[in-house]
Amino acid sequence: MLIRAGLITLVLLATMGQAQAYSYAAAGKEPLIDAREQLLTAASEGQDASAVLASLTEELTYLEQHHKVVLQAPLAEAIKNKDAATTQTLLNRAYKAEIERRLEGAGQNLGDYQTAKVLVVKSKRFLDLILPSLSEADRKAADQALAKVLDAIGNPGVFGVGAKVADEKAFKAAEQDLMAVLAPL
């Protein structure tokens, strides 16, 4: 009986450790995603969205400085003019820049599987918001490219069994393919 209890304890400990090691939850808030509905509603209904835009200043400033997109002034103007279509277009540009940002980070962390995986998963959250704006062919191409990015980061396997080393060349090619699909945004 003591041996059985010991084995159960070992199995539980091994399972708990495994669950922690393979937790891919992309914890943390994404202000640009969280504010999406508020901004689109404000634009379509002519509501004041200055507080929402003010809460996004840090994120939008970062994207403007590092990814060469102009977002803050045009977003404020689009919302003021009750232009939901332009607001959606500008949000898609912001999401595209966020995807680029996350994938750049993943590429810089290919040696750290967990970090690279979380960054790719976070980029998928932004891509999912852009997909409805793309043609069916582009949606499929974008999904396939992101799947290739995910595959290229490798896999540590289970206790090393089935491990796959990250492929930097395949990662960069898939990243370029994805960004080419998103280029018109």
Which residue type is seen at 182?
Answer: L
CB 43 within 8 A of CB 84: yes
Q: Give residue 157's pLDDT.
A: 84
Rounded-to-integer distance, Cα 70 and Cα 1, Å: 68
Residue 136's contacts (CB-CB under 8 Å, 6 or more residues apart) are none
Q: At a CB cut-off of 8 Å and minimum separation 6, what does 38 contact?
A: 49, 52
**pLDDT value of position 29:** 85
How much of the chain, in percent, has pLDDT values that exceed 90?
Answer: 76
Compute the distance between CA of residue 137 and CA of residue 140 in angstroms, rounded to an integer: 5
Q: Which two three-digit tokens encode residue 19? A: 């669950």
Quote the CA–CA distance of 176 and 163 in Å, as a whole number: 25
pLDDT score of 159: 86
Q: How confident is the model at residue 25 (pLDDT cuts 50, 70, 90)?
A: very low
* Number of residues that this document lists for the chain: 185
For residue range 127-162, list pLDDT tens digits in order.
999 999 999 999 999 999 999 999 999 998 888 788
Give the pLDDT confidence of 43-91 residue by residue, as tens digits.
999 899 999 999 999 999 999 999 999 999 999 999 999 999 999 999 9
